[in-house]
Amino acid sequence: MGHGAGPRPGLRGALSGAVRGALIGLLAAAVALGVAELIAAITGPLGSPVVAVGGSAIDLTPIPVKDFAIVHFGSHDKTVLVTGILILLAAFAVVIGILARRWLAAGLAGLAVFGVLGVSAVLTRPDADGADVAPTLAGVAVAMITLVILARADRDGKITLRASEPEPAGLAESAAGRRAFLVAGAGAAVVAAASGGAGDLLLRRFSATTARNQVQLPAAARQARPLPAGAELKIPGLSSFYTPNASFYRVDTDLVLPQVSPENWTLRIGGMVEREIELSFADLLRLPLTEADITLVCVSNEVGGPYAGNARWLGASLPALLRRAGIQRGADQVLSTSTDGMTISTPTAAIMDGRTALLAVGMNGKPLPIAHGFPARMVVPGLYGYTSATKWVTKLEVTTFAQQKAYWTQRGYAAVAPIKTESRIDVPQPLASVKAGQVPVAGVAWAPHRGIAAVEVNVDGGPWQKARLTAADGIDTWRQWVWNWDARPGLHTLQVRATDGTGATQPPGRAQPFPNGASGWDSTVVTVT
């Protein structure tokens, strides 16, 4: 073959066939997902195969991989997961389509395998029932029909379901065959787009946004005191004292946010209690409500990480509810359950020791955002969220640590996890370039339920310099701090450490988040010009 010659006819035909096979598989998979989403919009979003497979993937993900995803992808970790699932599905679909062109039974068997995996994933989800497998079964059934139609149209230009037609001799396509394949492919694309679009529209009826917007929060019977003068610095780049709801960190295992209507929400308190209690949302709002400023921290937060936030919460007293139920002797754990099946264990002693533990309904003056637990969630100061901050909570079971383990403790995290004393440098940002002279070094420090007593900064490992703390708003919130640095030209490393209200100072050694929270000094490198 000379340099100007094109691909050999046989190779060209094989490549063309592989491309058509890939297209057949991708269209069949698109139809499967579109139809499945449409049926899930009727039966409920739990039946979505992508959501179910994604949820199972999250549950089965090893802890180091989970921490890697949170650190590197942050709030986009679920988008990355769904994208990965769709890429794998597309690759699987391409193989199915190529097989189906030559051996239709193999392609159909591949779709059946996809169906089995989808059904298995759905049935492993909490609160799943028989109806939740309908979307996957319907999607696979329609995908099989689509696969047969496309494979037959590709083979001989006839849109038929008959399996007895002979294989055409040769690789040349007739004009009629190409038209038939294009018509069949366009039809499959329309079905996929129309069913997926209709499913998306129908799924909106499950949204709790309208119900949330109609909630009128009552005034607090016990109001939080006004923020003390001097509690907040106005330094560009420094975390605000109150974290806006839209900016508050979100770390959970839900690919799709639970949509819970206040009219259908109930909280059941049972287990080792003298009397079981069930509350509606209206009952909850009629209780005396308390306002409190509380900083929450995720156990996945790395040293200097973003997964900490401070808000003014409004809610009913959690200790009062448990006293109303009557805690039996020996109970040392409250196992809370979310509407999505997540379980979180909280030491009974931590709830009942006098701290402001809440069953919260409000956040920064508004009903809880859906992403943060609407209509109700737990907030217990001083404990990492995985042991205290159940969102969309529907059940509290008073029990013992010996009898039951929660979701994360089953995966090796510590059962009891007080938030560690930590501090963070917000400004200057890492690798920033600043001018020589007076430079404010500022950030936040937290030790919920112990408070922050001091913050110190050093430059290039030199002597520790005391930073100025803002006024304290109690012991359950973070405090801002600032140190004025006389910066000299060069490359410099800044470090920070905090001392809490008990006199304990942050240790220098770095510890990873697993199994009970990160520790160590935050640092940043800056260039002074």
Domain ranges of the chain: 9-205, 245-411, 422-528
Confidence of residue 70 (pLDDT cuts 50, 70, 90): low
What is the model's pLDDT at position 61?
Answer: 67
Report the amino acid identity of residue 269.
I
Q: Is the dihedral of CA 125, 129, 133, 135 positive or negative?
A: negative
Task: State the average pLDDT over residues 353-370.
Answer: 97
Q: How many CB atoms lie within 10 A of CB 166?
A: 7
Question: HSE of 261 in the Cβ direction (CA atoms, 13 Å)?
Answer: 7
Q: How many CB atoms lie within 10 A of CB 311?
A: 23
Phi, psi of 278 (to 5 degrees): -130, 130
**CATH architecture assigned to 245-411:** Alpha-Beta Complex (3.90)
Q: Is the pLDDT of residue 170 over 50?
A: no
Q: How many CB atoms lie within 10 A of CB 408?
A: 24
419 neighbors 383 (Cβ within 8 angstroms): yes
Rounded Cα gap, residues 153 and 175, in angstroms? 12
What is the model's pLDDT at position 159?
Answer: 43
Size of the chain in residues = 529
Confidence of residue 421 (pLDDT cuts 50, 70, 90): very high
State which fold the 422-528 domain adopts. Answer: Immunoglobulin-like (2.60.40)
What is the model's pLDDT at position 166?
Answer: 46
E strands, 428-478, in order? 433-434, 437-446, 452-459, 465-466, 468-469
DSSP string, 314-383: EEEEHHHHHHHH-BPTT--EEEEEETTS-EEEEEHHHHHSSS--EEEEEETTEEPPGGGTTT-EEE-TTB
Q: CA 481, 487, 491 angle in degrees (round to 5)?
A: 105
Q: Strand order in 266-271's β-sheet? A: 277-280, 266-271, 393-399, 333-338, 343-347
Rounded Cα gap, residues 494 and 497, in angstroms? 11
Q: 528 by DSSP, 3-state: which?
A: strand
188 neighbors 212 (Cβ within 8 angstroms): no
What is the model's pLDDT at position 220?
Answer: 97
Confidence of residue 165 (pLDDT cuts 50, 70, 90): very low
356 neighbors 292 (Cβ within 8 angstroms): yes
63 neighbors 411 (Cβ within 8 angstroms): yes
Confidence of residue 121 (pLDDT cuts 50, 70, 90): confident
What are the angstrom distances between the C-alpha of 520 and each of 250, 351, 403, 510?
Answer: 23, 28, 34, 4
Task: State the average pLDDT over residues 365-393.
Answer: 97
DSSP string, 16-63: HHHHHHHHHHHHHHHHHHHHHHHHHHHH-GGG-HHHHHHHHHHHHS-H
Tell me the pTM.
0.78
Confidence of residue 169 (pLDDT cuts 50, 70, 90): very low
Report the amino acid identity of residue 237.
G
